[in-house]
């Protein structure tokens, strides 16, 4: 545990990560003040000009705060070190760190790693971008032996010495173009997970991902040669059959890859332990979740699809005629590369929200499209347009913040709007 006795600390951001970092800093002996650009309980309302008047030993930045923005620059000027919440908390943790990043699949993989590690007899907590800040975990009465640490690009922007004991790199595709100036800038933030690793660090990555040659690299893929591969529904480790997908509750090529990555990062895991554990695992809510079957029409909630890669994965997994509901916040993404896939997989698209009009304009020459204002209107239109055998897929392809506080709230609204089922699940 760090000794911050007598040190002054400014925590930027009064959300859960900021509050957890403040509690940990106080536990380390620091005098702590929380600042936020919006009114929040327990925090001082501040501006960039306020920050320029603050002189502290350490500034800790919550992941939701834009690192290169004027707010952070104001506090950094004249103060000592500037760390992110993950960097700070990791310096207080002495266990084994498995760092997990990628554009999609992080949460499922983070949960799988937790469950599989625990099945081998070690204590493990899923945390980080997953929802529980690492600063909270470090203050647990019983600190886990292993952390399954989901890492967003925002969290990786502010690492300095952070050095995971093992790394999972799931995939990469454009996202968060409302925060980054270019795709390359976003990628460079993600790549920082490899910045400090040792030559012996295990790095599990999807085959075909172009990463710097660092650590001991083990590959996985559902569609090309790799150390971990998928063949006729079975997962193989090199040439040995390891697991049968149908014996788990997970479906789809993307989930096969999530399983491969999670298994590969735990060298001591046996096929028998993996099979028993995965047979009990249920996928997280809002990820291609079957909500209801109404008059032989399936309704799938994929609200977690907040970018193009997630939407593409959801579409590729569909085998029935599909009515797609998409839309939400304008993130500066180019949806046109999806045109051929939409043409093959989607019979009717309904767009809504801030980007609704742009989606219709992009694809109206490719397939039948309609634009509505709200999600509730979109579900009602999908229900009236569907016939037995169809799937209504809610996979927005962008974030929720134009109309909802989170993708969870958006998914709950979709589920509430779905007609009452005629077939129980």
Q: Is the pLDDT of residue 422 over 70?
A: no
Strands 31-36, 44-45: pairing is parallel
192: its two tokens: 């920082």
> Long-range contacts of range 191-196, CB-CB < 8 Å, 24 or more positions apart?
192/156, 192/157, 192/159, 193/99, 193/101, 193/151, 193/156, 193/164, 193/167, 193/169, 194/167, 195/159, 195/162, 196/159, 196/161, 196/162, 196/163
In this prediction, residue 37 carries a pLDDT of 92
Q: Is the CATH code 3.40.50.720 the one for domain 289-417?
A: no
Q: Which residues of 335-369 are buried (b: 16+ CB within 10 A; e: fewer)?
A: beebeeebeebbbbbbbbbbbbeebbebbeeebeb
* Residue of 265, 230, 223, 266 whose CA lies nearest to 248: 230
In this prediction, residue 178 carries a pLDDT of 64
| Alpha-carbon dihedral 105, 108, 113, 115, rounded to 10 degrees | -170
Q: Is the pLDDT of residue 177 over 60?
A: no
- At residue 9, what are phi and psi to the nearest 5 degrees? -130, 135
Task: Give the mean model confidence (pLDDT) for residues 350-368.
Answer: 93
CATH number of 93-278: 3.40.1190.10
Q: Which residue has the tokens 């699940």?
A: 425
- DSSP structure class, residue 368: -
Q: Give whole-number Cα distances, 49 to 14, 62, 72, 392, 402, in Å.
A: 18, 19, 10, 50, 29
Rg (CA), the chain: 22
Q: Which fold has domain 8-88?
A: Rossmann fold (3.40.50)
Q: Average pLDDT over the chain, rounded to whole?
A: 93
Q: Where are the alpha helices (DSSP H) in 149-285?
A: 153-156, 183-191, 253-264, 271-278
pLDDT digits (tens, 9 = 90+) for 59-117: 999 988 888 889 999 999 989 999 999 999 999 999 999 999 998 889 899 999 999 99
Could you tell me if 16 and 133 are in contact, meaning their C-beta atoms sit under 8 angstroms apart? yes
Domains of the chain: which residue ranges? 8-88, 93-278, 289-417
Task: Give the mean model confidence (pLDDT) for residues 266-291.
Answer: 91
């Amino acid at each position: 545990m760090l000794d911050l006795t007598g040190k002054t600390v400014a925590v930027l951001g009064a959300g859960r990560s900021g509050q957890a970092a403040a509690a940990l800093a106080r536990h380390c002996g620091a005098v702590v003040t929380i600042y936020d650009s919006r009114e929040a309980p327990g925090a001082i309302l501040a501006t960039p000009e306020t920050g320029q008047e603050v002189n502290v030993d350490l500034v800790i930045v919550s992941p939701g705060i834009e690192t290169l923005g004027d707010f952070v620059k104001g506090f950094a000027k004249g103060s000592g070190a500037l760390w992110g919440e993950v960097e700070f908390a990791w310096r207080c943790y002495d266990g084994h760190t498995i760092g997990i990043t990628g554009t999609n699949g992080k949460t499922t993989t983070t949960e799988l790693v937790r469950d599989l590690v625990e099945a081998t007899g070690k204590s493990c907590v899923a945390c980080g971008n997953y929802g529980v800040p690492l600063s909270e975990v470090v203050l647990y009465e019983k600190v886990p032996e292993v952390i399954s640490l989901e890492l967003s690009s925002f969290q990786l922007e502010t690492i300095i010495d952070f050095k995971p004991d093992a790394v999972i790199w799931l995939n990469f595709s454009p996202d968060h173009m409302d925060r980054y100036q270019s795709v390359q800038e976003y990628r460079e933030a993600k790549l920082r997970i490899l910045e400090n690793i040792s030559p012996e660090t295990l790095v599990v990555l999807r085959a075909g991902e172009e990463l710097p040659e660092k650590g001991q690299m083990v590959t996985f893929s559902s569609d090309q040669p790799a150390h971990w591969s998928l063949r006729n529904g079975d997962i193989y480790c090199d040439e040995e059959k390891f697991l049968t997908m149908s014996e788990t509750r997970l479906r789809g090529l993307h989930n096969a890859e999530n399983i491969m990555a999670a298994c590969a990062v735990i060298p001591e895991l046996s096929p028998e332990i993996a099979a028993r554990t995965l047979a009990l695992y249920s996928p997280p809510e809002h990820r291609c979740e079957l909500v209801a079957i109404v008059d032989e029409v399936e309704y799938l909630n994929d609200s977690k699809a907040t970018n193009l890669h997630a939407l593409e994965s959801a579409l590729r997994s569909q085998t029935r005629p599909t009515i797609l509901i998409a839309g939400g916040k304008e993130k500066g993404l180019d949806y046109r590369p999806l045109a051929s896939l939409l043409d093959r997989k989607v019979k009717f698209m309904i767009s809504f929200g801030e980007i609704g009009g742009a989606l219709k304009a992009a694809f109206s020459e490719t397939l039948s499209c309609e634009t509505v204002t709200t999600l509730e209107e979109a579900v009602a239109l999908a229900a009236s347009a569907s016939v037995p055998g169809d799937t209504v897929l809610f996979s927005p392809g962008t974030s929720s913040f134009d109309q909802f506080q989170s993708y969870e709230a958006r998914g709950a609204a979709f589920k509430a709007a779905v007609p009452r089922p005629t077939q129980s699940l």
